[in-house]
Amino acid sequence: MSFTTNVKNEVSKLDITKSDKISELSAIINNVSKLEDKIEVHSENASVARRVFSLVKDIYDINPNVSVRKANNFSKGYKYLVIINNKKILNELRVTNKNSIPPSYLIDDDELKKAYIRGLFLSVGSINDPKKSRYHLEFLFIDKNYAEFISSLLNEFNLNSKVLKREKKYMVYVKEAEKISDFLKIIRASESLLYFEDIRIYRDHKNMTNRLNNCEQANVDKTIKTATDQIKDILLIEERYGLDILSEKVRQVCVYRKKYPDVSILELSNIISVETGQNITKSGVYHRLKKINNLAKKIRDKDID
């Protein structure tokens, strides 16, 4: 079962006020219904079909007809059709055609807006399973103005949604994990939110660990390269003139760098301090290695000349 289905199953069972029910039902009928001589609500989710049936019954004391059909030859699922033989309902819901922008009284406060958004998700919304793919929440609409209206509605809750044209439809989408988490709070999908947050925390922790490992490896690579270059400088001086031309302190660093080719400058300073009994700082070792590098550069420059 997909994550989207789990979320829809959960929010379809919420107990809400009558005014919230009207806003939620308006959003559903506005997006997944045929409006002819009767209202036909289509869904591939049994929970959504049951939700529509109960909303109509609770609000208008009408029992819709429900039928079930095979989805198609390529799917093992079913299509659910809820038929409402009373088009007067559309006057209160203010649905004149598919994707008609709702009147203000259906989204007059934050709770009504959340109910309308919940109805949107039940009808045309989907969320990727955070365990299997990238974070992604989307809604699909046939009307551009309606899509832009919905994007603005979502952004009243700081969800940072955007509109993108996809073939003959318009997609309103949210990509940020934190914003999708906020969306699940808005539609009151508590159990799905806990699942989403658990996966998000795990993925964030895993990504942080990978970044730290990459950073650590980069530091190791840098240390090895630096030490290799320093040894090349030492060997060049030793081959041309011998290390006796160097001062005793600089010569000492040469000996220890050759002896410990894989350690950092800080580690080298600690080793020299312990083994010789003479305290030397990281800065002191760096300064002496810099002298070696400068001398090696002069030798190389002389070779070029």
Query: How much is the pLDDT for 71?
Result: 67
pLDDT band at 182 (very low <50, low <70, confident <90, very high): very high
pLDDT surpasses 80 at 62:
yes
Query: How much is the pLDDT for 164?
Result: 93
pLDDT band at 100 (very low <50, low <70, confident <90, very high): confident
With contact defined as beta carbons under 8 Å apart, do 141 and 31 qualify?
Answer: yes
Percent of the chain at pLDDT exceeding 90? 35
pLDDT band at 305 (very low <50, low <70, confident <90, very high): low
**Domains in the chain: boundaries:** 3-188, 217-304
> In the β-sheet with 75-84, what is the strand arrangement from edge to edge?
33-35, 39-43, 75-84, 65-72
Query: How much is the pLDDT for 18?
Result: 92
pTM: 0.68
With contact defined as beta carbons under 8 Å apart, do 146 and 71 qualify?
Answer: no
CATH architecture of structural domain 3-188: Roll (3.10)
Model confidence over 126-140: pLDDT tens digits?
A: 999 888 778 899 999
Buried residues in 76-92 as b, exposed as e (16+ CB within 10 A): eeebbbbebeeeebbee
Unique residue bearing structure tokens 């989907």:
126
pLDDT surpasses 60 at 298:
yes
pLDDT band at 76 (very low <50, low <70, confident <90, very high): low
> In the β-sheet with 137-141, what is the strand arrangement from edge to edge?
125-127, 137-141, 169-174, 162-166
What is the DSSP annotation of 262-299? TS-HHHHHHHHHHHHS----HHHHHHHHHHHHHHHHHH
pLDDT surpasses 80 at 75:
no
Secondary structure of residue 191 in the 3-state scheme:
helix
What is the DSSP annotation of 37-104? SSEEEEES-HHHHHHHHHHHHHHH----EEEEEEEETTEEEEEEEEEE--TTHHHHHT--STTPPPPG
Query: How much is the pLDDT for 31?
Result: 87
Unique residue bearing structure tokens 């019954």:
57
With contact defined as beta carbons under 8 Å apart, do 89 and 80 qualify?
Answer: no
Q: For residue 34, what are the contacts with CB-CB under 8 A and spacing of at least 6? A: 40, 42
**The dihedral of CA 103, 105, 106, 112: what is its sign?**
positive
Q: Which two tokens stand for residue 129?
A: 């399973």
